[in-house]
């Protein structure tokens, strides 16, 4: 995971926290985030010799985001991205989110 993140670090928006799973646990990635003023909430890998402190409560809340994406992917139109136009695709996501969370 963190190998692909190397290309995206420079284009990260100004945020306060970055929540990630153990796949993003790398010292260089943590340093790059720190240089941009972003606090990392990433647990350390099991084989890491020096334990890394992270906000466990905040990390548990990351699950809500994953559940939301899972529910959106239940909509075949969103999961397979039938709509190539970004505006129409965003509209499909908004419609799916409205039905999922309003009904």
Instruction: Give me the sign of the Cα torsion angle 79, 83, 85, 91.
Output: negative
Instruction: State whether residue 43 is helix, strand or coil.
Output: coil
Cβ-based neighbours of 55, under 8 Å, separated by 6 or more:
41
Residue 1, pLDDT > 70, answer no
Instruction: Identify the bridge partners of residue 90 per DSSP, sorted by sequence position.
Output: none
Residue 13, pLDDT > 70, answer yes
**Across residues 92-98, what is the average pLDDT?**
90
pLDDT at 79: 86
pLDDT (tens digit per residue) in 49-63? 888 898 899 988 888
Does this model's pTM top 0.95? My answer is no
pLDDT (tens digit per residue) in 18-36? 998 888 888 999 999 999 9
Cα–Cα–Cα angle for 43, 65, 77, nearest 5°? 135
């Amino acid at each position: 995971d963190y190998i692909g993140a190397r290309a995206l670090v420079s284009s990260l928006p100004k945020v306060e926290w970055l929540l990630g799973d153990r796949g993003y646990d790398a010292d260089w990635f943590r340093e790059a985030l720190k240089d941009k003023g972003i606090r990392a909430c990433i647990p350390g890998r099991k084989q890491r010799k020096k334990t890394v402190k992270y906000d466990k409560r905040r990390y548990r809340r990351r699950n809500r985001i994953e559940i939301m994406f899972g529910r959106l992917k239940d909509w075949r139109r969103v999961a397979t991205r039938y709509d190539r136009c970004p505006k129409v695709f965003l509209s499909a996501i908004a419609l799916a989110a409205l039905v999922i969370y309003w009904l």
